[in-house]
Amino acid sequence: MGRRRRRRIRKKVIKPPPKVFTCPLCNEEAVAVYHEDGSEYAEVICSNCKAHARVRWLPSYMAVDAYAEFYDIVTGSKKPAEPSLTESAELSATGE
């Protein structure tokens, strides 16, 4: 009679979320998320093509969530969280 074989325990490797993302415009891995603790907004900037957006930051957010909002803004499926300075000047000039 043979000896019983032991089952090997395999540990599940959990990858950390990325810190640099792919830009939807220039298709380079150059998008970074900058957020200061306590701030309500995060800056998402592509260092290659200089595309940027200011997105809302919630306490439960991670960098991936801010990048997802940036992606939606850049591709045109969502409006930015804050209007740009030119848009706000136009709204105040028209009286809205």
User: What is the pTM for the complete model shown?
Assistant: 0.67
92 belongs to a structural domain:
no
15 belongs to a structural domain:
no
Asked if the model's pLDDT at residue 85 lies above 50, the reply is no
Report pLDDT for 33: 93
28 belongs to a structural domain:
yes
2 belongs to a structural domain:
no
Report pLDDT for 93: 52
70 belongs to a structural domain:
yes
pLDDT tens for each residue of 33-62: 999 988 899 999 999 998 889 999 998 999
3-class state of residue 72 by DSSP = helix
Report pLDDT for 1: 63
Asked if the model's pLDDT at residue 32 lies above 90, the reply is yes
Asked if the model's pLDDT at residue 90 lies above 60, the reply is no
* Cα of 35 vs its chain's centroid, Å: 11
72 belongs to a structural domain:
yes
Helix-then-strand count for the chain, H and E: 2, 4
User: Residue 55 pairs with which residues in a beta bridge?
Assistant: 42
Beta pairing, strands 41-46 & 52-56: antiparallel
Q: What is the CATH number of the domain that holds 59?
A: 2.20.25.190
- Structural domain for 31, as ranges: 20-83
User: How many independent structural domains does the chain possess?
Assistant: 1
